[in-house]
Amino acid sequence: MNLDTLTITEEHYEQLKQATFRSDGKEGAAFLLCGRSYIENEIWTEKREERFLSREVYVIPDDEIVSSSTADVTFRHETYLRVLKIAEEKNYAVALVHSHPKGHLYFSKTDDEGEAGLFQLAVNRNGSKRPQLSIIIERDENLLARVWHENRTRPISLIRIIGKRITLHYEGKHTTLSKEEFARQALAFGPALNNDLQRLKVAVIGCGGTGSPTAMLLARLGIGHILLIDDDFVEKTNLNRLHGSSVSDVKNKKPKVKVVENLIHAMELGTIVKTIKGSVESKECQEALKSVDLIFGCTDDHLGRMILNRIAYCYLIPVIDMGLAMKVQENVSPPVLQTLDGRVTYLFPNEVCLLCRKVIDPKKAYAETLRKNNPQEYAKQVKEEYVEGEGNPSPSVVTFTTDLASMAVTELIDRLQGFRGEHSGAAERRRKYITCEERRTGATARPECPVCSNKKYYGRGDMIPFLDISL
Amino acid sequence: MSFLPERDRDYLKEKGYEYQEYTEENQRGIILKNWSLPSDKFTLDKIDLLVLIPVGYPDNRLDMFYNFPEVLLKQEQQKARAADQPLQFNSTQWQRWSRHLAGDAWRPGIDGIHTFIQAIQQALMEARV
């Protein structure tokens, strides 16, 4: 199957619909400038994938439209050349977007000829080897897209429209029969959801207390492809909450990713599982993370969170990040719990990021980084009290870690299917386990935040260095 | 391949700094060449300035700075306070300035070389025994 895919933010999709569905019923057109994510060796197929990420909508002004009818639209070539220039300066891919009447979700002969001619302009102008895209929005809100390269077309196999909701467009979404194993959830959510879940590629970062139940739930739910990342081996004190782990795993020094992988395979649901025993910041993980549609952050590693935080905005890959805060009152015995809160945060363009929410503690991140990369210097700085040493381990209990994982995976279901209706779309929820309340947490982005405030990185895709962060 | 964010490369280029990126086994840094020290304060007028770039920068903070060759305060003929620990980098021994930004002073992602340079200049101006 072809591996070119396209992600459009809901914001851009609205702009495109406005530009292409004119009030007089005639066809309109616009350009979508896209950042690019190129994967040499996609982790699932080991083939190359090119992903196009919406970055900017360029509406063709009325006075530049040469003619428009209910069947097609033509515009001046100068318009296209101007857009090309912008694209070249910033290495964007250019997509031509236009609408088709209801029931016409296919590329017509007029489209084929018109586009071939138009894109040839780009090649003639500067021998451009850059791919060009063409997107149709049908009045029923279905989409179709293809890539033009060297005078030939390739279909785009998956279009993701993401914002408050995650909507996937691909062949067979409404026609493929969903598997009997998942019949009971089709009764709740409809069969198309099962097809979406099968299609999805999801990464679980951290396979511990929250990561192992997250992965387990995703597999049972029918997610077709799961990537597990964790650098640790099973230890005795993990056994009270690490799903799938046993005492033998401790003796055999089993990596956590292997424990969770085995747990999933034992279900025999056909889930494709990939594992990386390593750190999120490694090159191997960088490439792998570009190959997924969605990420669950189940790690309390601050540097790991910094990376996931940026990926969401740069690569338009939603991150559902979770954290459990369990604190006891100081110097009290037997212990008295003072805080017992679970947090689920949804990260994506136009939502407030983890840095602005202060979920990432920069002092801890700095200490972690130093400890990992330069243990000598770390020991020295802890001694000199410049840097905080590692504190005591936190309390952790399986009922809460599992409940939190469940809350996070349910958030995915709602984003895909919308069952919560008007209650959907909270960027952050906190569940208070002592008082049994659940709240939506508001937050304001720092006005100068380069990640979430000024849209500079939204859909930017590949950069040097990766995510514009030093790794 | 550069490990310095695009924003910083653009800044340093725009301001005309002469710099280079260096990668070692467990640390990375940029060396700004021919850095002017405050006039008449130190035993040299120009040095090379090293800033180590930690993994996670600029969400992760910068800390301390280093110079080569070694300098003393001109008047007292001594090293400034907390500017005495050596660091091996790029086959050179550097003089470390233990200067840290106060508590929450580093704004993750927002601050960077462009703001840190000002903190360095401040530290050098205020240096005393």
Kindly report, residue by residue over B44-63, the tens digit of the pLDDT.
999 999 999 999 999 999 98
CB spacing of A369 vs B108 below 8 angstroms: no
CB spacing of A446 vs B5 below 8 angstroms: no
Q: What is the C-alpha end-to-end distance of chain B, expressed in Å?
A: 41
Q: Which residues contact B88 (CB under 8 A, 6 or more apart)?
A: B94
Structure tokens, A11: 């914001």
Q: Which residues contact A275 (CB under 8 A, 6 or more apart)?
A: A227, A228, A229, A255, A257, A258, A260, A261
Residues of chain A with Cβ-Cβ distance to B7 below 8 Å are 450, 468
Q: How far is Cα A365 from Cα A37, in angstroms, rounded to an integer?
A: 27
Exposed/middle/buried for residue A209 (C-beta within 10 Å: 0-12, 13-18, 19+) = buried
CB spacing of B6 vs A470 below 8 angstroms: no
A370 touching chain B per CB within 8 A: yes
Please name the amino acid found at residue A78: E
CB spacing of B107 vs A281 below 8 angstroms: no
Q: Is the peptide bond before B58 cis (omega within 30 degrees of 0)?
A: yes
10 Å Cβ neighbour count for A72?
Answer: 16
Q: Report residue A336 CA to chain centroid gap.
A: 38
Please name the amino acid found at residue A240: N
Quick one: average pLDDT of B13-37? Answer: 94
A415, A165 contact by CB (below 8 A): yes
Q: Which of A362, A463, A468 sits opposite B60 (nearest CB)?
A: A362
10 Å Cβ neighbour count for B117?
Answer: 20
Q: How far is A366 from chain B (nearest CA, A)?
A: 6
How is residue B78 annotated by DSSP?
B
Q: How far is Cα B20 from Cα B13, in angstroms, rounded to an integer?
A: 11
Q: Which residues pair with A35 in a beta bridge?
A: A53
Nearest to A130, CA basis, from A42, A31, A52, A45: A52
Structure confidence at residue A88 (pLDDT): 86
B72, B12 contact by CB (below 8 A): no
- Digit-by-digit pLDDT tens for chain A (471 residues) are 568 999 999 999 999 999 988 777 777 889 999 999 999 889 999 898 999 999 999 998 877 777 776 666 777 888 888 898 888 888 899 999 998 878 889 998 888 988 888 888 877 776 667 889 999 999 888 999 999 988 889 999 999 999 999 999 999 999 989 899 999 999 999 999 999 999 999 999 999 999 999 999 999 999 999 999 999 999 999 999 999 999 999 999 999 999 999 999 999 999 999 999 999 999 999 999 999 999 999 999 999 999 999 999 999 999 999 999 999 998 899 999 999 999 999 999 999 999 999 999 888 888 888 888 888 888 988 888 878 888 788 999 999 999 999 999 999 999 999 999 999 999 999 999 999 999 999 999 999 999 999 899 999 999 999 999 998
Q: How far is Cα A275 from Cα A229, in angstroms, rounded to an integer?
A: 6
Structure confidence at residue A454 (pLDDT): 85
* ipTM summary value: 0.91
Q: How far is Cα A290 from Cα A287, in angstroms, rounded to an integer?
A: 5
- Kindly report the pTM of this predicted structure: 0.95
Quick one: average pLDDT of B23-45? Answer: 93
Q: In what order do the strands lie in the sheet containing B92-97?
A: B19-23, B28-36, B46-52, B65-68, B92-97, B86-89
Q: Give the C-alpha distances (Å, rounded to integers) separating A38 from A341, A461, A462, B18.
A: 39, 8, 7, 32
B115 touching chain A per CB within 8 A: no
CB spacing of B109 vs A281 below 8 angstroms: no
Residues of chain B with Cβ-Cβ distance to A360 below 8 Å are 59, 108
Q: How far is B37 from chain A (nearest CA, A)?
A: 26
Structure tokens, A68: 């428009």
The torsion defined by the Cα of A356, A361, A366 and A372, in degrees rounded to 10, comes to -120
A28, A98 contact by CB (below 8 A): yes
10 Å Cβ neighbour count for A71?
Answer: 12
Exposed/middle/buried for residue A287 (C-beta within 10 Å: 0-12, 13-18, 19+) = middle
Nearest to A192, CA basis, from A182, A202, A201: A182
Structure confidence at residue A58 (pLDDT): 94
Structure confidence at residue A207 (pLDDT): 98
Looking only at the bridges linking them, the beta strands covering A49-59 and B19-23 are unpaired
Whose tokens are 């003619």? That residue is A67
Chain A residue closest in CA terms to B58: A469
Please name the amino acid found at residue A212: S
Which A-chain residues 270-329 have CB contacts (< 8 A) with chain B? 281, 303, 306, 309-310
CB spacing of A360 vs B59 below 8 angstroms: yes
Q: How far is Cα B78 from Cα A129, in angstroms, rounded to an integer?
A: 62
Q: Give the C-alpha distances (Å, rounded to integers) separating A22 from A59, A182, A211, A249.
A: 12, 41, 47, 63
Burial A337-367 (b: 16+ CB within 10 A, else e): eeebbbbbbbbbbebbbbbbbebbebebbbb
Q: Which phi and psi angles does A12 have, rounded to 5°?
A: -70, -35
Q: Is the peptide bond before A334 cis (omega within 30 degrees of 0)?
A: yes
Question: 3-state class of B56 per DSSP?
Answer: coil
